[in-house]
Amino acid sequence: MAQNWAVGMLYGGGYVNGLKVWTQPTPGGLVYPQPQQYSPENFQGYQQSIMSYPALYEFACGHFLNCPAVYEVYQPSLGEQVALVCCNQCGFIQQIIAPYSNFQSYIDTPILVA
């Protein structure tokens, strides 16, 4: 039976090379483990800044990335091929572009908006 994809699901189910790496306690919510987002607790003797990740996007999964992973899959509810715009770390589906030809067209999708 074919899979009906939805925004917020994990493409690949949280598995990487057959091992469960990513967990999502709330469907459509944050995916764990999360990146570290705080500065050291103790004064180190020099100016400290909050940790930041230089990236263009922060997906709803909580991960930072510059280039999303895009998969072409069949969506049974629509009866056509669609593009899944996913987090390149955990596979969180951020956007579904249907039909897939809209993703391939620079006029329809000039920039992926996460």
Of the spans 28-42, 50-64, 78-92, which averages the highest pLDDT? 78-92
Give the residue from 20, 35, 26, 32 showing the smallest Cα distance to 8: 26
Give the residue from 67, 63, 66, 69 showing the smallest Cα distance to 83: 69
Q: How far is CA 110 from CA 24, 103, 106, in A?
A: 31, 9, 4
The fraction of the chain above a pLDDT of 70, given in percent, is 80
Spatial distance between the Cα atoms of 57 and 22, rounded to a whole number of angstroms: 19
Residue 104 confidence (pLDDT) above 90: no
Instruction: Give the model's pLDDT for residue 37.
Output: 67
Contact (Cβ atoms closer than 8 angstroms) between residue 63 and residue 43: no
Residue 32 confidence (pLDDT) above 80: yes
Mean pLDDT score, 57-81: 93
Q: Where are the domains of the chain?
A: 1-22+53-98
Spatial distance between the Cα atoms of 29 and 111, rounded to a whole number of angstroms: 24
Residue 31 confidence (pLDDT) above 80: yes
